[in-house]
């Protein structure tokens, strides 16, 4: 099963990249229906399929690049779902002969990926409603984290048990994890509401940004027929963007303090390797965030920012798991 879990980890990274690419190319509604595309299992090709699509969805003309972006993402997500289903079935089938076999985690993964499929459907049927889009992103990152945990469980990492110095790091590591989760949620909200370019200056936002802040409006969901390209006004988008920047500073301070404490206290090579990964990923993620603003959200940088956010989260999940194993 280890190889199947490794394959799932590769797949979930591909799905996360494809998902961010689909969102950033405005292809979230590239297919107006779900799970197919204009009533077919692929993008319509024949004259008959195209005529039927025009008849059923007259207000959603076919844009082939966007439709294919969306369908490739769905194909990859579907394959991931089937792989996780195979992992869950395998775990349940083997647990009697192998009591040490993880079962709860594979079943939780199956529930998670099923809920992800529902969120994917609602993303389309609710016309990119921001809460659903943000939830879909968080669900993808959660699936990645759970698969990473399952991989660590199967790997059976050996740690020097009961190191009191490592135990002292547990609280800070957990707070760092929560801070990163909160920042990812803020980033998802910014992306779902097309607020990434609401501020294009560094180190602070545009002139008079303080007087533009509207917290209540920024974190509400206005009524709209469609949320594609955003339904919030400029001041509300500025508020979202500023909140995400402040969140980045808070996360940097918290994770930085955790790393400083960890390098001072931890003597385990396994723990220190995890700290190295968190350090590198945090720096790369900060640089990608700055590059998004400086270079006006280039597609490759924006996709990488999403991916490295997921990798930073998983690195902290792994660190917390290893610390817990040490306790």
Contact yes or no for 109/146 (Cβ under 8 A): yes
Mapping DSSP to helix (H, G, I), strand (E, B) and coil, where does residue 287 land?
A: helix
Tokens encoding 97: 């002969």
In the set 70, 100, 206, 236, the catalytic residue is 70
Which residues fall within 8 angstroms of residue 196, CB to CB, at 6 or more apart? Answer: 190, 241, 292, 297, 302
Which residues fall within 8 angstroms of residue 118, CB to CB, at 6 or more apart? Answer: none
| Cα distances (Å, whole numbers) of residue 130 to 30, 139, 210, 251 | 17, 14, 24, 23
Compute, in degrees rounded to 10, the torsion defined by CA atoms 251, 252, 255, 260.
-160
| Cα distances (Å, whole numbers) of residue 31 to 19, 23, 44, 59, 120 | 14, 13, 10, 12, 12
List, as one string, the DSSP characters of 39-67.
TBSSS--SHHHHHHHHHH-TTS---HHHH
Mark whether 100 is an active-site residue.
no
Angle between helices 234-265 and 269-294 (to 10 degrees): 160
Active site residues: 70
């Amino acid at each position: 099963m280890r190889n199947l879990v490794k394959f799932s980890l590769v797949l979930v990274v591909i799905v996360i990249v494809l998902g961010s690419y689909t969102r950033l190319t405005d292809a979230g509604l590239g297919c107006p229906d779900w799970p197919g595309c204009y009533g077919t299992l692929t993008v319509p090709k024949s004259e008959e399929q195209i005529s039927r699509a025009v008849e059923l969805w007259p207000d959603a003309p076919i844009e082939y690049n966007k439709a294919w972006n969306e369908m490739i993402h769905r194909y990859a997500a579907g394959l991931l779902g089937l792989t996780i289903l195979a992992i869950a079935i395998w775990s349940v089938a083997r647990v009697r002969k192998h009591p040490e076999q993880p079962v709860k985690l594979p079943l939780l993964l199956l529930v998670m990926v099923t809920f992800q499929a529902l969120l994917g459907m609602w993303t389309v049927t609710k016309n990119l409603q921001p809460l659903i889009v943000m939830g879909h992103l968080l669900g993808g990152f959660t699936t990645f984290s759970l698969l990473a945990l399952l991989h660590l469980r199967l790997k059976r990492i050996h740690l020097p048990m009961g190191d009191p110095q490592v135990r002292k790091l547990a609280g800070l590591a957990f707070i760092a994890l929560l801070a990163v989760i909160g920042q990812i949620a803020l980033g998802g909200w910014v992306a779902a509401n097309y607020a990434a370019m609401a501020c294009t200056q560094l180190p602070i936002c545009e002139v008079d940004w303080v007087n533009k802040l509207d917290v209540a409006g920024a974190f509400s969901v206005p009524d709209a027929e469609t949320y594609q390209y955003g339904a919030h006004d400029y001041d509300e988008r500025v508020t979202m963007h500023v909140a995400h920047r402040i969140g980045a500073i808070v996360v940097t301070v918290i994770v930085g303090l955790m790393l400083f404490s960890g390098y001072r206290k931890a003597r385990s090579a396994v723990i220190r390797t995890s700290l190295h990964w968190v350090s590198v990923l945090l720096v790369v993620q900060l640089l990608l965030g700055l590059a998004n603003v400086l270079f006006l959200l280039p597609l490759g940088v924006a996709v990488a920012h999403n991916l490295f956010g997921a990798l930073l989260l998983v690195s902290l999940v792994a660190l917390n798991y290893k610390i817990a194993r040490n306790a």
